[in-house]
Amino acid sequence: MRNNAVRVGSLAIFIVLLLASLTKSAHAQDQPTIAKDSVQIRAFTLNVYKGNYDNWSWIPIMDFRVNGPIPSGGQLYVEFSLPTGPWVKFDCSTEETPPGRWWGITNCGGRDIGEDKGSLYTGMVSFAIKMRNELAGTNVTIFSGKAKVEKAHSNEAGPKAVNKWVYFINHDSNLPIGYVYLTPADIFGWKWPDFHVAFWVRGDPYKFDPHVFYQGKEIGKISLDGEQIGRAGCEAKVENNTTHYVEDALPQKAKWSRVECDFPNIKGKDNPDERHELRPGEVGTIFPIAENPGEYEVKVLRENKLARSLKFTVQPGGSFDNGIAKNSKLGSDRVIVPVQIIGDLDGVWDRNAWKDAFYGNPLTGFTPVP
């Protein structure tokens, strides 16, 4: 009887713990989350400070993406604090969003905050993205972090320009972090997914030439009668620039950009419904990653110089997920890989800044390339 009582008691405890775990999991799924790689904070420089137009100040402006659900009555807003205490609070455009969908926000803050809130402060500032719901009587923080504010002289000259500073957020922490990911093709969707990589650069983002190597051999090259078709290309999709021109002497002009590269001749997997048949005079074919497990390397030329190298491994079956994004709760379906920064086109940058990646929400399991 005693043994039976012990078994019944243990079973009851197990059931209670299981129900608590399920309740906690369900509650977590009911809460919105932030895609960490979507958060971009910039300093919006104002041509005035407390009525003095010869002394410039700044206020924050930002973009971010919220993974649903955003319930009826939900209102997103952001709070910024200086070391002296709370500074500004402002609402962002919000729309009811079901689970499995996301809501994107751009240029929240800026002049909408008001010129009277401008600050001269440089250094670390804290912020929090929150959601209140007047209908439900709730107010929760869904993301928090910190950003490093710096300043440089504007390109104006003369005795009245001495305090005309242009403010910016330092994004050196992004430079060692790259992304490898697939997206559904325009026609065939996930049956024949497109392949992409992304990385950050400092300075003007132009003149990129990307190449992919599998087991040391370049792939994704197709030519027809000697002319390359389906050429890979890159362009800046996120640009964290200053709102005013800085002095010409400032290297890289306080610009950081996330560059995304597309490879039309490389696919996430083979599509039996769309076999690539060689035409007369054609050399090369579509390369499916899933059918070719092993080591890959992406090399990117920038201004005709080798500037980036990203390496990743494809497992049998086609997965190249290394667990970093998932373990770091990135909030998007991209795979994070270290980026080797080659050459001097990015100028002098802080190689330890990655420890504060994603505004003080560092990655788990990430090791930068020396």
Cis omega (within 30 of 0) for bond into 69: yes
How much is the pLDDT for 29? 57
How much is the pLDDT for 282? 86
Q: In terms of domains, do 194 and 134 share one? A: no
User: Are the C-beta atoms of 200 and 175 separated by less than 8 Å?
Assistant: yes
First CA to last CA across the chain, in angstroms? 65
Residue after which a domain boundary falls, among 120, 137, 169:
169
How much is the pLDDT for 165? 98
Separation between Cα atoms, residue 370 and residue 363, nearest integer Å = 17
Asked whether residue 8 carries a pLDDT value surpassing 70, the answer given is no
How much is the pLDDT for 277? 74
Asked whether residue 28 carries a pLDDT value surpassing 50, the answer given is no
- H/E element, 24: helix 2-29
Residue 71 backbone dihedrals phi, psi, to 5 degrees: -75, 165
Number of structural domains found in the chain: 2
CATH number of the structural domain spanning residue 126:
2.60.40
Determine the structural domain holding residue 340 and report its residue range: 174-360
Q: Is residue 27 part of a domain?
A: no
Q: In terms of domains, do 335 and 304 share one? A: yes
Residue after which a domain boundary falls, among 133, 149, 169:
169
Separation between Cα atoms, residue 196 and residue 231, nearest integer Å = 13
Cα 363 to chain centroid, rounded = 12
Residue 178, strand partner residues: 337
Model confidence, pTM: 0.90
Q: Is residue 23 part of a domain?
A: no
